[in-house]
Structure formats: structure tokens, C-alpha cells
Amino acid sequence: MPTTLACLLAITLGYILLCVVAPFRTCRLCNGLGFALRTDRRGRPTRGRPCRRCHGNGRHLRTGRRAYELAARIHHHATPHLRKGPR
Ligand SMILES: [Zn+2]
């Protein structure tokens, strides 16, 4: 099944490219608002509590980008010549 393999490779490369170009995605819980929408006594929408999931940012680091940054941090801390300061 070379076609299936090519499809999986294309999807993976597309996701990697997406993580490079746009590392943040909008929060699914608050739809990018950063807070919950409540209605006041007149029925108008007002600002509610800050979002627990994105801590009020409205944006999330993508899972692939988070994995890459974790790997890069581990590599950085494990490689002596990349650290600043005296050796
Ligand atoms: Zn949120």
C-alpha cells in the first residue's frame, strides 16, 4: 500500500509544517476569547471568569510544537557546548 504510506507521510509533513508556521491554536473551551461568556441581569453578554484551559490567553501551544520544544530543551540541557558560560 504505497498510496496509504504517501497519505500518512503527507499528513505528518503537513502537521509539522503547521506547527512551524502557526505554533498556537485557538482554545477550544473559550473559542479564543480567554474568558467565559455570562449574561448580566439585562441579558447582555458580559465577561465571566478567565478560562482555566488557556489561563485567559485564548491560545494554546499545539501538541506537536510542545513535543518539539520539550525535545529541544532536553537536547539543549544535555549538550554542554550549547550552554553559555565557562566550560
Ligand atoms: Zn480558553
- 66 located within any domain: yes
Please write the tens of the pLDDT for every residue from 25-61: 999 999 999 998 889 899 998 998 999 999 999 999 9
- How many A from CA of 26 to the centre of ligand 1? 8
- How many A from CA of 11 to the centre of ligand 1? 27
Residues 39/26, Cβ–Cβ less than 8 Å: no
Please state at what angle helix 2-21 crosses helix 63-78, rounded to 10 degrees.
Answer: 70
- How many A from CA of 16 to the centre of ligand 1? 23
Predicted TM-score of the model (pTM): 0.67
- Domain span at 54: 31-81
- 60 located within any domain: yes
- 17 located within any domain: no
pLDDT for position 11: 95
Domain count, the chain: 1
Please write the tens of the pLDDT for every residue from 60-81: 999 999 999 999 999 989 888 7
In this structure, the number of other CB atoms found within 10 A of the CB of residue 8 comes to 11
Instruction: Name residue, grid cell 494554546.
Output: 60
Give the pLDDT band of residue 1 (cuts 50, 70, 90). confident
Q: What values do phi and psi take at 61, rounded to 5? A: -75, 130
- 18 located within any domain: no
- 24 located within any domain: no
Alpha-carbon distance of 68 to 44, in angstroms, equals: 42
- 16 located within any domain: no
Alpha-carbon distance of 53 to 28, in angstroms, equals: 9
- How many A from CA of 46 to the centre of ligand 1? 16
Residues 61/24, Cβ–Cβ less than 8 Å: yes
